[in-house]
A and B are shown apart, each in its own frame.
Chain A
Amino acid sequence: MAKAPAVYILGGAQSDFARNWTKEGKHFVAIMREVVLAALETAKLEPHEVETAHVGNFAAELYAKQGHVGAFFVEIDPAFRGLPTARHEAACASGSIAALAASAEIEAGRYDLAAVVGVEQMKTVDSVTGGDFLGTAAWYERESKGIEFPFPKLFGRLGDEYDRRYGLKDEYLARISAINYANARRNPLAQTRNWFMSDSHALKSDKYNAVVAGRIKVSDCSQITDGAVALFLASERWAARYARRHGVALERIPRILGWGHHTAPLEFDTKVAESRESAYVLPHTRQAILDAFQRAGVASVEQISAIETHDCFTTSEYMAIDHFGITAPGQSWKAIEEGWIEPGGRIPINPSGGLIGAGHPVGATGVRQLLDAYRQVAGQAGDYQVEGAGRVATLNIGGSGTTSCAFVVGC
């Protein structure tokens, strides 16, 4: 792979994922505005310096009866009038795709300073309707139509596939949930930061922790979340000027060291059938991670300090553990049992709380992961800081393992 021009991250902002915008009587543009203005302030940028904007959003047409989400960026500030904007959709990976598009523009030399925004408003409908909307991230008429909560079913089957190939005990999934909730307690913007959770709650199914589908209980699921996140990407030329302006060394500004992006067939059955010969259940996801590592010059996960991964369900984090190479294929349980993925462990996963603990505003998640990776590397993660985080990887997945995006962020 040819060495691409560097893309720097100048900082950003995340909304409090515990908010309910419907109860607040808000249009999503209100919170987009809050996070973009806060991101400008945090990153010490002026609105007129922004040259292009990319917005990740999954389904505003369904949840908020509003398309053309990219154009809402120019509503935020008069200085944004006239800017090129675009909205990107790849289900739950929409945010990463927006970041990829922005970084591609910077690498191509078209623009020097890009805004990346992820936004999703989901609490506008009841859970069954919301589940049906989310079903459009699969092949709707084949996998979702007429099915209540299609996605827990699909990711339950991911667990079943692990079970079939390698064996899987639900206690490991419960532990993943409990760790994410525990981490979320240290993240002041996490949706579940004040929710009750314990290992035994996550393990038991009862009236407060009902089975949603197969081996998936409520505690195995990520949240229905209203959330927005904004961050800024800059070219080396722009970042060098910025570094001088603020008296910081360019080498101290985190950048995207590598990325990976692959797409598997939409249907879960097809994916599993095609991976039958592979040691990895989702080989295209594995490849996205390997590409990001290779572009970043990272030989293995040993050189990564922490991971923000896509735990839309506990089974997807279970999958991520071996796909990142933390264990041999099928042995993710070992990393859980040994405490490697916990704070202070060998390779902490989701110090933010992830999608289960921090929340999962679908189109914003990829941007949130990238911002958390930035915060870790910049030493700005507060109570959920991983000490000495040098390189942090992200994995963002759309559909049932269909679109996979990975980044490595470091200095």
Chain B
Amino acid sequence: MVERRKVVILGSNGTMGAGAAVVFAGAGFEVVMLAREPAKARAGIEAAKRVARSEAVAERIEYGSYREHLARAVAQADIVFEALAEELELKRAFFAEVDRWRKPEALVASNSSGLSMAEMAAGHSLSFRRCFLGIHLFNPPHLVVGAEVVPNPESDPEVVEQTAVLLARRLGRKVIVAGDQPGFVGNRVGLKVLNEVAQLAVEHGVALMDYLVGPHTGRSMPPLKTIDLIGWDVHKAIVANIYARCPEDPARDSFRLPQFIEHGVAAGRLGVKTPAGGGFYRQETNGTLTVLDPASAEYRPYRAPAPVGFVEAMRRLNRIGRYREAVAVMADAQGAEAELLRRLVLGYLSYGLGLCGGVARTAADVDTIMGYGFNWAPPGALVDLLGARRTVELLERHRLAVPAVVERAAANGERLCGGGPMEYGRTLVG
């Protein structure tokens, strides 16, 4: 196996560029951060210091500009990690340059979260195509450890395997190999749920949706707050891409972008990165928190929703580690709000586990990426907590597809999520 020690990062001025630099430097790699202007790459190093909380991290990082340094840096690199803007032609132009200078065994990885690896690889040399794949890190990579390896059709299986091992053993990632489809596995499953919640916010309001589908349902952060953090523009790009390119998806309607997001992006409302424009939430200059009314596009003072009995009961049970009982409360609760939540959560596990055998290899892979890429309770964990038989019943009652793995688990009584509560307890918040 090739010992990989040097990495070049293209697109070093973005947050992912700096985050990836820290992850590689932390594992002992020599890193070269490249950007259009040297000053931008140098700014990337400053960002890397802040992320690493270390001045010394800079000792392992050099910087430069594409024009002056790309050829030499790429010629010496064992890994070329591309984190450029999500534009196919831009990336392809860079890859043509990389193909010219790279060592024949150098790994070339794209951090794209939406573009097709096959389209990016096409037309470059055979050796490039064999060594090219996606490494989808989640943001911010120094905190979120999920990673998807996405082969292109011509990737050398050995390179794929070596990359997965390198990410797991040296970079501390929780790795899955995902199919080259829009959104791969994590974003396909995660943004389906997030977009559904955004759709429902038109009728039910932002604050209520974030409360109902909050951390007690197995996520570190409420869904609409999560979209604010991801950025409305990024959310839009991923969701629209899946909608356009997966016409056969049984949940296609879940990927229909709500109009208010479309309008918000056009108006410069991108979430956390546009504090003045806001997102679902906005911190006003007078210090108060306001919340978006999606129907009118106006911000109103935030008021916490009135406590709902079953939600509070779930939180109390999660707090003392009674996860099974908490999930049972969700399954049994009466009323429209409980029904709304159940439909979302059951839809999540039906859709997520339904992807295995396709874009995801196994149920365990879906669980890994939702657990460590999104910090959500893995769908398999929710099935285990509900009981596989009960899950089948509930899915049928909601006319949702019963994934084959859930049927098998119901038949043979096996657990889907191997690690048990030690693996997912952290995601069920009290």
Q: Within 8 Å of chain B (Cβ to Cβ): is A196? A: yes
A330 → B minimal CB distance (Å): 30
* Given A41-B420, A194-B145, A198-B60: A26 and B55 interface contact (C-beta under 8 Å): no
B58 → A minimal CB distance (Å): 10
* Given A200-B59, A201-B57: A19 and B426 interface contact (C-beta under 8 Å): yes
A residues near B429, Cβ cutoff 8 Å: 24-25
Are A29 and B57 in contact, CB atoms less than 8 angstroms apart?
Answer: no
Q: Within 8 Å of chain A (Cβ to Cβ): is B125? A: no
Are B321 and A29 in contact, CB atoms less than 8 angstroms apart?
Answer: yes
- Using CB atoms, name the residue of chain B closest to A33: B321
B183 → A minimal CB distance (Å): 25
Are A198 and B422 in contact, CB atoms less than 8 angstroms apart?
Answer: no
CB-contacts of A193-208 with B (<8 A): 193-198, 200-201, 204, 206-208
The complex places the Cα of A30 from the Cα of B255 at a distance, in Å, of 36
B residues near A197, Cβ cutoff 8 Å: 26, 54
* Given A196-B25, A198-B59, A208-B53: A24 and B422 interface contact (C-beta under 8 Å): no
Are A200 and B56 in contact, CB atoms less than 8 angstroms apart?
Answer: yes
Are A34 and B421 in contact, CB atoms less than 8 angstroms apart?
Answer: yes
Q: Within 8 Å of chain B (Cβ to Cβ): is A253? A: no
Contact of A196 among B26, B215, B220, B421 (CB under 8 A): B26
The complex places the Cα of A194 from the Cα of B170 at a distance, in Å, of 10
Contact of A31 among B49, B142, B321, B420 (CB under 8 A): B321
Are A194 and B142 in contact, CB atoms less than 8 angstroms apart?
Answer: yes
Contact of A383 among B143, B169, B321, B425 (CB under 8 A): B169
Contact of B420 among A29, A32, A38, A196 (CB under 8 A): A38
The complex places the Cα of A33 from the Cα of B430 at a distance, in Å, of 15
Q: Within 8 Å of chain A (Cβ to Cβ): is B152? A: no
Contact of B318 among A25, A38, A194 (CB under 8 A): A25
Q: Within 8 Å of chain A (Cβ to Cβ): is B172? A: yes
The complex places the Cα of A204 from the Cα of B53 at a distance, in Å, of 13
B residues near A35, Cβ cutoff 8 Å: 422
The complex places the Cα of A16 from the Cα of B426 at a distance, in Å, of 9
Q: Within 8 Å of chain A (Cβ to Cβ): is B52? A: yes
Are B56 and A204 in contact, CB atoms less than 8 angstroms apart?
Answer: yes
* Given A24-B430, A41-B420: A30 and B425 interface contact (C-beta under 8 Å): yes
The complex places the Cα of A197 from the Cα of B22 at a distance, in Å, of 10
* Given A195-B26, A200-B59, A383-B169: A26 and B53 interface contact (C-beta under 8 Å): no
Q: Within 8 Å of chain A (Cβ to Cβ): is B304? A: no
Contact of A30 among B60, B145, B169, B430 (CB under 8 A): B430
The complex places the Cα of A31 from the Cα of B56 at a distance, in Å, of 36
The complex places the Cα of A15 from the Cα of B143 at a distance, in Å, of 18
A residues near B318, Cβ cutoff 8 Å: 25-26, 30
Are A16 and B422 in contact, CB atoms less than 8 angstroms apart?
Answer: yes
Are B321 and A34 in contact, CB atoms less than 8 angstroms apart?
Answer: yes
B residues near A38, Cβ cutoff 8 Å: 420-422
Q: Within 8 Å of chain B (Cβ to Cβ): is A54? A: no
- Using CB atoms, name the residue of chain B closest to A76: B321
The complex places the Cα of A16 from the Cα of B421 at a distance, in Å, of 11
Are A196 and B422 in contact, CB atoms less than 8 angstroms apart?
Answer: no
B residues near A349, Cβ cutoff 8 Å: none
A194 → B minimal CB distance (Å): 5
CB-contacts of A21-62 with B (<8 A): 23-27, 29-35, 37-38, 41
The complex places the Cα of A224 from the Cα of B422 at a distance, in Å, of 20
B199-223 CB mask vs A (1 if < 8 Å, else 0) is 0000000000000000100001000
A375 → B minimal CB distance (Å): 15
Q: Within 8 Å of chain A (Cβ to Cβ): is B192? A: no
A142-156 CB mask vs B (1 if < 8 Å, else 0) is 000000000000000
B112 → A minimal CB distance (Å): 23
Q: How many residues of A contact B (CB 8 A)?
A: 35
- Using CB atoms, name the residue of chain B closest to A206: B55
Q: Within 8 Å of chain B (Cβ to Cβ): is A185? A: yes
Are A26 and B319 in contact, CB atoms less than 8 angstroms apart?
Answer: yes
Are A194 and B172 in contact, CB atoms less than 8 angstroms apart?
Answer: yes
Q: Within 8 Å of chain B (Cβ to Cβ): is A331? A: no
B residues near A16, Cβ cutoff 8 Å: 422, 426
Q: Within 8 Å of chain B (Cβ to Cβ): is A320? A: no
Q: Within 8 Å of chain B (Cβ to Cβ): is A209? A: yes
B413-430 CB mask vs A (1 if < 8 Å, else 0) is 000000011100110111
Q: Within 8 Å of chain B (Cβ to Cβ): is A13? A: yes
B172 → A minimal CB distance (Å): 5
CB-contacts of B302-335 with A (<8 A): 315, 318-321
A residues near B215, Cβ cutoff 8 Å: 25
Contact of B54 among A25, A37, A196 (CB under 8 A): A196
Contact of A27 among B22, B26, B319 (CB under 8 A): B319
A residues near B425, Cβ cutoff 8 Å: 30-31, 34
- Using CB atoms, name the residue of chain A closest to B170: A185
The complex places the Cα of A16 from the Cα of B424 at a distance, in Å, of 11
The complex places the Cα of A23 from the Cα of B23 at a distance, in Å, of 24
Most buried by B among A15, A23, A198, A383: A198
The complex places the Cα of A33 from the Cα of B318 at a distance, in Å, of 12
The complex places the Cα of A13 from the Cα of B52 at a distance, in Å, of 30
Are B55 and A37 in contact, CB atoms less than 8 angstroms apart?
Answer: no
Contact of B56 among A29, A193, A201 (CB under 8 A): A201
A330-355 CB mask vs B (1 if < 8 Å, else 0) is 00000000000000000000000000
A residues near B321, Cβ cutoff 8 Å: 26-27, 29-34
The complex places the Cα of A209 from the Cα of B54 at a distance, in Å, of 7
B residues near A27, Cβ cutoff 8 Å: 319-321, 430
A56-97 CB mask vs B (1 if < 8 Å, else 0) is 000000000000000000010000000000000000000000
The complex places the Cα of A75 from the Cα of B325 at a distance, in Å, of 14
CB-contacts of B226-240 with A (<8 A): none
* Given A38-B420, A38-B421: A26 and B430 interface contact (C-beta under 8 Å): yes
Are B420 and A37 in contact, CB atoms less than 8 angstroms apart?
Answer: yes
B236-260 CB mask vs A (1 if < 8 Å, else 0) is 0000000000000000000000000
A residues near B420, Cβ cutoff 8 Å: 37-38, 41
B residues near A26, Cβ cutoff 8 Å: 318-321, 430
Are B55 and A204 in contact, CB atoms less than 8 angstroms apart?
Answer: yes
Are B430 and A34 in contact, CB atoms less than 8 angstroms apart?
Answer: no
- Using CB atoms, name the residue of chain B closest to A18: B426
- Using CB atoms, name the residue of chain A closest to B51: A196
30 residue pairs A–B, Cβ–Cβ below 8 Å: A15-B422, A16-B422, A16-B426, A24-B430, A25-B215, A25-B429, A26-B320, A26-B430, A27-B319, A27-B320, A29-B320, A29-B321, A30-B430, A31-B321, A33-B320, A34-B422, A38-B422, A185-B26, A194-B142, A194-B145, A196-B57, A198-B56, A198-B57, A198-B59, A200-B56, A201-B54, A204-B55, A208-B49, A208-B55, A383-B169
Q: Which 5 A-B pairs have the closest CB atoms?
A: A30-B321, A25-B430, A201-B56, A196-B52, A33-B321
> With A37-B421, A194-B143 given, can you name 20 additional A-B contacts, CB distance below 8 Å?
A16-B422, A24-B429, A25-B429, A26-B320, A27-B320, A27-B321, A30-B319, A30-B430, A31-B321, A33-B320, A33-B321, A34-B422, A35-B422, A41-B420, A185-B172, A196-B57, A198-B59, A198-B60, A208-B54, A208-B55
Binding site for A on B (CB under 8 A): 22-23, 25-27, 49, 52-57, 59-60, 142-143, 145, 169, 172, 215, 220, 315, 318-321, 420-422, 425-426, 428-430
